[in-house]
A and B are shown apart, each in its own frame.
Chain A
Amino acid sequence: MFKQTHNKIMRANLFLGLVLCLSLMACAYQRAPVDSRITLPNACFPAGFEAVEICREDSFASLAAFYLDDPAKGWLIDQYNGHPKLVPGDIIIIPPDSFNRAGLVPDGFQTVPVLAYQCLVQKPSNKFEVITNRFVEQMDFLKENNYNIITLDQLIAFINYKEVIPPRAVVITFDKGWRSFYKIAWPLLKKYNFPATLFLHTDFIGNKEGLSWKELNQMSKEGLDLQCQTKSLRNLIKNKKGDSFKSYFKTLQKEVMDARSIINIRLGIQCKYIAYPYGKTDNLVVAMLQKLGISAGLTLERGSNAAFSDNFRIKRSMILSDYNIEDFEENLIIFKSMALK
């Protein structure tokens, strides 16, 4: 009798177990993820655009890595969609990386400031020498305020309407080739992971206060962009008194061609851009540079650069020794208001 009852209980328990298993299986089947991502048909969209449904694990960087082949372009998706919060199930538009190359929005357009430094020192003796601590303060300011330091190549591509650049973009440049660049500026720039361009005044290189070719070679290998600032740093638009046009013009050619060939021989670099000595240029200089194959020239006119700026009159703001952080910020104009609607 006891055995019979025991068997019944066992059978009942088995049955109950079976029911539970079946139910759990059914539920588990329903809970399995159906599809990791839904991409809407994009036949009717403009070329390069895609609309996708957000998954739980998505971030702007992962979406950019998947759709734009570059995780660093996450800002492009973020910006296009109006800085949304990524909620699984929401639809997000992936723009092509060619979208909005001029950085245009209904109330204005993007501009890029180019900062120019001469040299960094502990005790300044003139207004072009910036104290190291001030430079550190300025770099901290750029980092803390989410400025994106871009290369000069990126800026030129932006001006040529070929590449979209991140918002709050800034370019850092140094002039001449002072030795302090190797000792102070370059280690700091590397620490901040900021790209920079150094324009070389070739007659100055190898001098007591100037950088050596060996140092330049090392920094170039470490990622420093090296360009040319002529051979002797003479004012290109000023003809010396008594000089004929012929001799003036020959000197101009020599200033650029010699500087370029020296840099090419010593460092194996073909310079594409020039920083005009004292920032001065005119149509004669520009015509000559274009003929020589230079593709952009930087002045020392204060201001920022838009996508439609002139390649040969790129504005650059010299940072002076007595600038406090407010003065520095005044040179960081990253947007120009204009009703574009």
Chain B
Amino acid sequence: MRSAAVAFYLCLFLYFLTGCSNFIILNSTKLSTSDHTISDTLISKALILEKQMELNKALLIWKVIACRGPHYQTDQTVQDKIKTLQNRIEYLVKTHYDKGCLYYSQKALEDARREFLIILRYQPQHAGALDYLKNRLTPPVYINYQAAPKDTLQSIAKAHYNDVKKALLLAWLNDLDDQVKLKPGTLLCLPVLPKINQVSKKSTSTLSQVKRLVKKQQYSKALAMINKLLNKTPNNSKFILLADAVHIAMARPYILDQKYEIALSLLNKVSPSYPRIKQILDDFYIKRQAYQSKQLLQIANSHLTAAEYDKALQVTNEILLKDPENREASSLVDAAHYALGRKLAADKNEYGAWRQFKKVSPGYKNIGQLMQNIQKKLNKKADTYYKTGVKYYLRENLAGAIQKWKQTLKYNPQHPKAAKDIARVERLLEKLKKVN
């Protein structure tokens, strides 16, 4: 009776211990499951942010994912994503800055402002964009002027404002005495004030002569005449409009001949006030982009045919960076990864092949079948590494075991035991360190 009671209580005790150990195991499993869930949530969040063009936020989330565990740090997909996003941000900043500067030079200030604001979204401390936004895009209050020999404040006031009396304003603003002689080279701040603009009227006969030349498509002669007129009356809106029309007419044949750089140099001379100039420029950029993409696609295709997969991918990525919607480039990327993957698989580099196949769009050719085959082989390799790791563990070579299990995860990130075992052994190693 007594021994039966002892046995019963002993069983009860053991049951409790089992319960506790189960609780510990369950707890640790829960933690790692929730760990994975959090990373999955973060990944989907990063992808949504990327879609919304919140690239910096997306990049940061990918970095958080990379920091969350040893296998994420080494996961090539995560690292690739980080690199791609960094490159994309860098590229966008550069492109928008160039665009902004171009718009600014064409006096399309609202468009320029938009481009510089986009840059600040990606790079909030971009000095160039900030300088344009704060200093150059608002009409200046001052201009700088370097005094020439024989300049006086009165002569400068006369030249700039048609008003000698404003010499006293210049003297006060520049901490000078208005009666003192100016030293040549002195740098002065001149407020930008309205000046009565005396536009001289030119004979209409010259203008009609220019119009006749334009009709006959004798653009160079017409332009030379307009420039002469503009030298005398720079603000004459009729002459400016005519000069703009001539520049656009001159650019057209170059666009048809796909000589885009010459065409652009002519279009850049058109004043921003010309009606529909923005639309003309937008159409021009679309045509130039399509032409450049076509040329690059040809190059990529020739690389692909010559089995130069890396080069083909480099070129297609360049196209996709500028034109992410380009379908031909996307299918070329698929073809390159597919061919490279098959080549690696033939060379028995299953992991390399798997990485390439992963980058191919899901519906491409027989990629699903190929992926399954490769995954099976990788799982086998992973199991071999896992078992070797277990052997190391039993021989008390803990570092070696961790290394093998990490290799297991490389080949099969979903391996049911490797991640848990690594964590367990790492905890053990930490405890050992503390004891030592």
Contact = CB atoms under 8 A, between A and B. Distances in A.
Given A8-B2, A161-B130, A286-B141, A45 B60 contact: yes
A270 interface: no
Contact of B12 (A16, A90, A91): A16
A109 interface: yes
A325 B169 CA distance: 46
A308 B42 contact: no
A9 B130 CA distance: 86
Contacts of B57: 80, 93
Contacts of A26: 16-17, 20
Interface of B is mostly: helix
Interface stretch (A99-107, A203-211, A260-268): A99-107
B66 to A, nearest CB: 7
A16 B16 CA distance: 11
Contacts of A245: 163, 165-166, 168-169
B76 interface: no
B47 to A, nearest CB: 14
Given A51-B64, A246-B168, A340-B117, A30 B20 contact: yes
Contacts of B42: 91
Interface string B1-20: 01001100100110011011
Interface string A206-226: 000000000000000000000
Nearest to B140: A283
A98 B124 CA distance: 9
A51 B57 CA distance: 12
Interface stretch (B131-139, B144-152, B215-223): B131-139
A109 B9 contact: no
B34 A89 contact: yes
A15 interface: yes
Interface string B57-95: 100110110111000000000000000000000000000
Chain A interface bracket (under 10, 10 to 19, 20 to 34, 35 or more) = 35 or more
A133 B5 CA distance: 85
Interface string A157-191: 00001000000000000000000000000000000
B172 interface: yes
B312 to A, nearest CB: 29
Contacts of A291: 172-173
Contacts of B173: 287-288, 291
B75 to A, nearest CB: 14
B169 A93 contact: no
A287 B117 contact: no
Nearest to B133: A308
A245 B157 CA distance: 13
A46 B61 CA distance: 12
A14 B12 CA distance: 14
B297 interface: no
A286 B139 CA distance: 12
Given A102-B117, A245-B166, A22 B16 contact: yes
B67 A23 contact: no
B24 interface: yes
A12 interface: yes
A104 B118 CA distance: 8
A70 interface: no
A283 B60 contact: no
Contacts of A98: 124
B165 A49 contact: no
Nearest to A160: B134
Contacts of A27: 20, 23
Given A89-B34, A283-B193, A30 B27 contact: yes
Among A51, A99, A286: residue with most chain B CB under 10 A: A51
B280 interface: no
A132 B64 CA distance: 53
A284 B169 contact: yes
Nearest to B110: A338
A161 B53 CA distance: 23
A341 B118 contact: yes
Interface string A43-67: 0111001010000000000000000
Contacts of B165: 244-246
B176 to A, nearest CB: 13
A57 B114 CA distance: 42
Contact of A104 (B64, B117, B168): B117
Contacts of B142: 287
Interface in B374-432: none
A10 interface: no
A136 interface: no
B52 interface: yes
A338 B120 CA distance: 14
Contacts of B6: 15
B69 to A, nearest CB: 10
Contacts of B24: 30
A312 interface: yes
29 contacts: A12-B5, A15-B6, A16-B9, A22-B16, A26-B16, A26-B20, A30-B20, A40-B68, A41-B67, A45-B63, A51-B60, A51-B67, A102-B124, A104-B117, A106-B121, A161-B130, A161-B134, A245-B166, A245-B168, A249-B169, A283-B191, A283-B193, A284-B169, A284-B191, A287-B191, A291-B172, A308-B134, A338-B114, A341-B118
Interface of A: 8, 12, 15-16, 19-20, 22-23, 26-27, 30, 40-42, 44-46, 49, 51, 80, 89-91, 93, 98-102, 104-106, 109, 161, 244-246, 249, 282-284, 286-288, 290-291, 308, 310, 312, 338-341
Given A93-B60, A283-B192, A340-B117, 14 more contacts: A19-B16, A23-B13, A45-B63, A46-B60, A51-B60, A90-B38, A245-B163, A249-B168, A249-B169, A284-B191, A284-B193, A287-B141, A308-B113, A308-B133
Interface of B: 2, 5-6, 9, 12-13, 16-17, 19-20, 23-24, 27, 34, 38, 41-42, 52-54, 56-57, 60-61, 63-64, 66-68, 113-114, 117-118, 120-121, 124, 130, 133-134, 137-138, 141-142, 163, 165-166, 168-169, 172-173, 189, 191-193
Nearest 7 pairs of A and B residues by beta carbon? A341-B53, A23-B16, A287-B191, A26-B20, A308-B133, A245-B165, A19-B13
